[in-house]
Structure 1
Amino acid sequence: MRLGLRLPQRVGTDLRHDVTEVAGAAERAGFDSVWAWERLLFPVAPRDSFTPGAPWPSAYRQAADPLTVLAAAAVVTERVRIGTSVMVAGLHQPLQLAKRFATLDQLSGGRVVAGLGTGWAVDEFEAVGVAKVHRGRLLDETLDVFEAAWGPDPVSYRGPTTLIDNAYVLPKPAAPIPVLLAGDVDVSAAGGPNARVLERIAHRADGWLPLLPTPGAAGATKLRTEWDLIRQTAAAAGRDPSTMELVVVGNIAFSETPLGDDRAGFAGTRAQVLDDIAAVASAGADELILDLHLQDWWQSTRQMLDAALEIRDLAAA
């Protein structure tokens, strides 16, 4: 299983120096990829939350623009993949986003991975004049525009918000850009799997970007079951599931003392975090993204990088 590392973007980050330092150190240490995430704004009184009723994490106060962060990382690295995990498709005009990804792929020499999601924050959608109810349709249109814009010229496409009329759209990506989709398939839900999310990933994506639902063996079993369902659905649609990849996001929250069985995935001591890394590997994940800068334990980029290198060494051992 490959290991990736989330780049620093939060408040307290020296963007001019920390991004390139971490990207270069990650490549030298043997990480396989570096990733950036998107948060458009931080409402003082949010109207909704990823976890219902919970406040937004303090780390969300700043998330530097992911594609700009990745451009900085691209110019100081040669090997690692450069990915978004994730960008919210509905916050962007699809053709402009396709062009930004293609430009970044040229800068990186063909190393870009486009991780997209529907998003969940009504405050963000309203800030760009979009209704949250349309988020799924907007993601579908973005996928359509990527396919058209990254394909042969001249390009023609007509969609709900995008019109390309027999035009050249350049630059093209240096290499085919894998598009990974986030989303909760949730086979344990009372009404069965989330059919729309399942169909979109299985029919349209090059892979899946989930979180570890619960820690340890139980989380591995659930993750493996849902990944098997995605691949079976892809095969039934005539796709080759062996070309798809499972990239799990591990949001690490350290604890000085062991947490109980009700802990979240990747929360706890270093030993518990290593158990979750092993669980993700046993579930058949192709890659795990280590995110060490979303939690309150974070004090500095240097501290985060040291912890990341320690975990990589422990996992390798």
Structure 2
Amino acid sequence: MRIGFSVPQFGPFADPDRTAGMCAALEALGCHALWVADRLLAPLTPAAGYPGGKPMPDRYGTHLDPLLALGVAASATTRVRLGSSTLGALWQPPLVLARALTTLDLISHGRLDVGLGLGWMREEYTAAGVPWRGRGARLEETLDVLDAVWRSERVVHSGPLWTVPESTVLPKPLQRPRPPILLGGFTPYAMERVGRRADGWLGASMPLPHLDGLWAVAAQAAERAGRDPAALRRVFRVNADVTKTDADPAETHHLGTVRQICEHLRAVCAAETDEVLVDLQLTTDSPQEFLDLASEFMAELA
């Protein structure tokens, strides 16, 4: 099992100097990866509500840009993988996105994992000037453009949304033929896309029957596309709500003591290549407690 933590970037952790120091400290604990998340805004009354039926956490209203925060993390570390879980894939043209991600791969000396998603909040699409309708097709073409930029010496693309005239786009990422691409999502369409196009899935800690049903869709799609499902990575995010006393066993996919949450994470990681991403930004405001809890999770999971 590979163990990752969130890059501190939200609420009281939205301070680049603090982010840099904490990323260095997390790497020193021996973790394998650090991951940024992405929020454009925090509407006062989101039309769809926050996933899970709870109010959106207040601290999501204060946030560092994910790509710049990843650059801070890259400069503060030397070994850990650096990824996004997930980056709003559609809020900028794919050629611009490719340039930023290439630069991050070079800054990090080939440590970048590109995690892309569609998000759930219509208000972010409205603010970015991007249509909500047709976002799945927009993601498919975004992936086409990224592949064209990263895999080809002469880059050309002509599609329904974007046209890239035959061009030279340099430099290329250090990782060849491109950095790994992982996709988020929890619908049948999203899971089919993971199996057909991605190097892995950015999932979440959840009850096992639900997880198994989702993963079956991706595995079957991979087989239909002539790909090996066992070669796909799985990264399970847990927005940990750590308690001092034992929680209801039905809730330990996100709530409970460090040991309870870790027991569930061990259960969902069925393959040796599975990874966990522990986000501690919702359970503490203290940098020291964040690092202390990270140390506990490392000791329990290692």
Aligned AA (2:123) = D
**Where does residue 301 of structure 1 map in the other structure?**
287
Whether the aligned pair in 2 keeps the contact of 1:248 and 1:285 (CA below 8 Å) is: no
Contact 2:246/2:257 (8 A) holds in 1: yes
Which residue pairs with 1:314 in the alignment? 300
Residues 1:16 and 2:9 are matched in the alignment: no
Question: Structure 1: any 5+ residue segments left out of the alignment?
Answer: 186-193
| CA–CA distance in structure 1, aligned partners of residues 53 and 223 of structure 2 | 38
Q: Does 1:249 align with 2:237?
A: yes
Name 1:207's counterpart in structure 2.
Answer: 200
* Pair 1:16–1:146, CA change in 2 (3 A): same
Letter in 1 for 2:279: D
Match of 2:264 among 276, 297, 301: 276
Give me the whole-angstrom Cα distance separating, in 2, the residues matched to 1:262 and 1:199: 28
Distance across 2 between alignment mates of 1:91 and 1:50? 20
Contact kept? 1:115, 1:180, Cα under 8 Å: yes
Which amino acid is 2:2 matched to?
Answer: R
Is the 1:227–1:246 Cα contact (8 Å) retained in structure 2?
no
Question: How far 1:83 moved relative to its partner?
Answer: 0.1
Q: Contact 1:90–1:119 at 8 Å: present in 2 too?
A: no
Deviations 1:33-53 (A, max 9, x none): 110000000111222224265
SS in 1 for 2:82: strand
How far apart, in 1, do the equivalents of 2:212 and 2:273 lie?
Answer: 9
Q: State the 4+ residue runs in structure 1 displaced beyond 6 angstroms.
A: none
Instruction: Measure, in 2, the Cα distance between the counterparts of 1:13 and 1:69.
Output: 11
TM-score by length of 1: 0.89
Instruction: Give the aligned residue type for 1:11.
Output: G
Amino acid paired to 2:104? L
- Answer yes or no: is the 8 Å Cα contact 2:259–2:300 preserved in 1: no
**1:222/1:38 Cα in 2 relative to 1: closer, same or farther (>3 Å)?**
same
- Specify the SS of the correspondent of 1:90: coil
Query: Are the counterparts in 2 of residues 120 and 132 from structure 1 also a CA contact under 8 Å?
Result: no
Number of aligned residue pairs: 300
Letter in 1 for 2:265: I
TM score, norm. by length of structure 2: 0.93
1-side partners of 2:216 and 2:273: how far apart? 11
- Counterpart residue identity of residue 253, structure 1: D
Supply the distance in 2 between the matched residues of 1:14 and 1:234 (Cα, whole angstroms).
38
Equivalents in 1 of 2:135, 2:252: separation in Å? 27
The 2-side partners of 1:301 and 1:123 are apart by 31
Question: What letter matches 1:231 in structure 2?
Answer: A
- In structure 2, give the amino acid aligned to 1:212: S
Equivalent residue for 2:88?
88
TM superposition shift of 1:225: 4.7
Residue 198 of structure 1 deviates from its aligned partner by 2.5
